[in-house]
Amino acid sequence: MEKKNRILVFGGTGYIGKNIVKASVSLGHPTLVYTRPLNSQTCPSKTQLCNDFNSMGVTLVQGELEHDQILKVIKQVDIVICVLAYPQVMEQLKIIDAIKVAGNIKRFLPSDFGVEEDRINPLPPFQAFLDKKRNIRREIEAAGIPYTFVSANCFGAYFVNYLLRPYEKRDKIAVYGNGESKAVLNYEEDIAMYTIKVANDPRTCNRIVIYRPSKNIISQNELISLWEQKCGQNFRKDFVTEEEIVKQSETLPHPENIPVSILHSVFVRGDLMAFEIGEEDLEASELYPDYNYTSIHQLLDIFLVNPPAPASAAFQ
């Protein structure tokens, strides 16, 4: 039987990370998670998650993001996936250095997992956010490390929670811009499964992979109609004009100016769908046509039955 690649995940206890760790285990990979040392201050939910990981056979490695400590672990694996939080993006320089020194890593996936940052020009606060991620891409290329850059587009449950706020009792939904631009919302469990497949796939070496399955392309207006049909309630739409959003991106202090600039890029300008998937690019559902991903319809059904908990992202 072929030997499964050993996968190390940085940020594996996080929002998308825990899905990636579970996907890695479910596809039979020896899986390691590098995490900050657990102590009496560690929140109970993270302790519980680490216990769950242990029972799933995951190897937890506790340490700081420090060269010698990470080098030692990197030498024991084949693939490194980084899903550290945004404020830790530049810490990836240490991971890149260690991967260079170790010399054994077959593939590195840095903490991208959003818009295709090399192809869009958003408002300045989001531009500055993406500049850091772009710098990391350029460092990886310059170091000659085998990589895959993942553009996962919108985390589906995260954005359904953000846009529709299903856990609040209310009759209004905010719509950014005119609600017509198309976005892409992918369920987190599918993002995780695609990511493990992509990390092991020779076709994706040194390439960008975009997660843009056809059933997950949707506008805000379409999403709201679908939700109205499913839950049997009509909502009033509170349109937030482009002018207001741009103004907020100019006047809100950092880091609150970042999420409004993301909303502008994704939902007002429609940046996720504003470029064609070119000859050089790979699209996840085309790479893995047999994988039965969750459509937006099905994702909203999940929200009706067992709503995933809302989460908030860190920006600084």
Whether 75 is catalytic is no
Interface with ligand NAP (CB under 6 A), residue total: 22
Note whether 30 and 8 are within 8 A (CB): no
CB 132 to ligand NAP: min, Å: 10
Query: Does 110 sit near ligand EMF (CB under 6 A)?
Result: no
* Buried/exposed code over 165-201 (b: 16+ C-beta within 10 A; e: otherwise): ebeeeeeebebbbebebebbbbbbbbbbbbbbbbbbb
Residue appearing with tokens 């850059």:
149
Contact flags string 81-120 toward ligand NAP, x per CB under 6 A: --xxxx-x----------------------x-xx------
Q: Which does 111 bind (CB under 5 to 8 A by kind): ligand NAP, ligand EMF, none?
A: ligand NAP
235 binds, among ligand EMF, ligand NAP, none (CB under 5 to 8 A by kind): none
- Of residues 15-54, those binding ligand NAP (CB under 6 A): 15-17, 35-36
Least distance CB 162 / ligand EMF (angstroms): 6
Give the whole-angstrom CA distance, residue 17 versus residue 9: 7
Report in angstroms how near the CB of residue 17 gets to ligand NAP at its nearest.
5
Closest CA to 266 of 165, 151, 106: 151
Q: What is the DSSP letter of 144?
A: T
Number of residues forming the site for ligand EMF (CB under 6 A): 10
Question: Which of 266, 284, 296, 300 forms a contact with ligand EMF (CB under 6 A)?
Answer: 266
**Separation of alpha carbons 222 and 225, rounded Å:** 5
Helices 17-26 and 188-200: crossing angle, nearest 10°? Answer: 60
- For the annotated catalytic residues, the residue numbers are 133
Q: Rule CB under 6 A: which residues touch ligand EMF?
A: 114-115, 153-154, 162, 259, 262-263, 266, 313
